[in-house]
Chain A
């Protein structure tokens, strides 16, 4: 198996891009990544996207984006795994490079959500769950997050304010991120006073609706050394799945696929949680942020709130987390999110994170979740010296 490196990164701002189509967003992020690499070519184009079929009536995104980039002839496909589409596209890109099937792979995650009404987007997101036995009940995805949040709070005596603090810190980290959707500070009190979306979750602790695209250009590690000044290596790329529907699982307070993908990734990289300097987790809601810290081994079971209260996930803390705002504040253009995480970790490891820089960051971890803990990808990135 060949080593895999990231030789170029690029993204758009997350937001309401009324003047840009899904294709425009994907092209913009891709060109930035290729410009960053100094290589306008790819053997393969993978597009991470969840909802284009429903929201844009557009499928066949692989060839659509490849053609738009002038890469006719390249292999191309859309990769879909609900909210983990981006992470899964990076994972598939890694397989193509590692196996030798391709020498360069452009992975672009893109989602265009704001052309649709909130009920339409809510329905589209619920397509990640079983249509005949879950979505059929009128459950929204935040509703499923709420079931998790309630079970977690009850199991460990966690207070709503403890969970809200996670989102407050995400907003703080987004202040200096020019690509973030929500660049304003919030307080725990503001979260608690915001409308309930699905009890016990409030509006200000749930990821919003936004458009955006992020791209990475992957190459073999040996090839990368010749092209890029400071390639970042993908030390591990793993994925795990669980029972499809949340309600079928006995434990709602921890995700088996998170633990399994993490264990496999750490084993592959020969590292432990203690070796990670910067972390990106899938905080579709505040509760998922806390659970991720525990599932991935950064906090003991039921103790994530303590880590957060002690400043542990802030820049300068024990394990700086979601250093550009995470899903909550950078934004969550669904199929793009997993690629944004890789772009952001790469900025950290290159020392290009500006005011958000984690001093001496050498290794980063990204967790991307599709469905309510159903498909979870793990990526560990390392600086190449």
Chain B
């Protein structure tokens, strides 16, 4: 990842900035220009709660380049209390103890050091 890209994504990575559709009320993450529920184009920025529950999870044993020194690590689909689903690493856990429905919360962590600098962003951890 490049430095400009990292800075551009910071509001999403570090504050969970999404969008809310003024027409139907749907919440999106990442932010959208067009609502994926009603097709509305009148959307406003909204910071999301960062708490929710684990919908599905797995443990990555064979990681992509850039993540070799972290494996094995858990990833999962988190449904935030606003209803939005996001994909995230699940940190601070014994993967054997993860369960669907488990409550999780956002935590800011080191993501990788791919572009010559350290990237920080969201992961989730069991509450």
Contacts and interface: CB of A to CB of B under 8 A. Distances in A.
Contacts of A18: none
Contacts of A197: 61-62
Contacts of B12: 132-133
Contact of B64 (A122, A147, A245): A122
B60 A147 contact: no
B113 interface: no
Contact of A198 (B5, B30, B60): B60
Most buried by B among A117, A132, A138, A246: A138
Contact of A139 (B9, B60, B100, B111): B60
B77 interface: yes
A196 interface: yes
B58 A147 contact: yes
A123 B66 contact: yes
A222 interface: no
A137 B87 contact: yes
Contacts of B30: 132-133
Contact of B85 (A117, A150, A195, A248): A248
Interface of B: 5, 9, 12, 29-30, 36, 55-68, 70, 73, 75-77, 85-89, 95, 100, 111-112, 121, 123
Nearest to B68: A119
Most buried by A among B64, B65, B86, B111: B64
B56 A150 contact: yes
Contacts of A138: 60, 63-64, 66-67, 70, 73, 75, 89, 112
- For the residues of A in contact with B, the DSSP-based class is helix
A216 interface: no
A126 B62 CA distance: 12
A248 B121 CA distance: 19
A194 B63 CA distance: 18
Contacts of A243: 36
11 contacts: A119-B64, A133-B87, A134-B87, A135-B64, A138-B63, A138-B70, A138-B73, A138-B89, A154-B100, A247-B77, A252-B77
B98 to A, nearest CB: 10
B123 to A, nearest CB: 8
A352 interface: no
Give 5 nearest A-B pairs by CB, closest first: A146-B58, A138-B67, A123-B64, A119-B65, A123-B65
A117 B65 CA distance: 9
Contacts of A135: 64
B64 A126 contact: yes
A138 to B, nearest CB: 4
A125 B68 CA distance: 16
A125 B58 CA distance: 18
B87 A122 contact: no
Contacts of A249: 85
A46 to B, nearest CB: 29
A138 B123 CA distance: 11
Interface in A113-171: 117-120, 122-123, 125-126, 132-140, 142-143, 146-147, 150-151, 154
Interface in A187-201: 195-200
A199 B90 CA distance: 14
A143 B9 CA distance: 24
B62 to A, nearest CB: 6
A147 B56 contact: yes
A118 B85 contact: no
A140 B62 contact: yes
A136 B121 contact: yes
B58 A119 contact: no
Interface in A284-329: none
Most buried by B among A126, A140, A197, A245: A140
A243 B87 CA distance: 14
Contacts of B121: 136
Most buried by B among A134, A143, A154, A196: A143
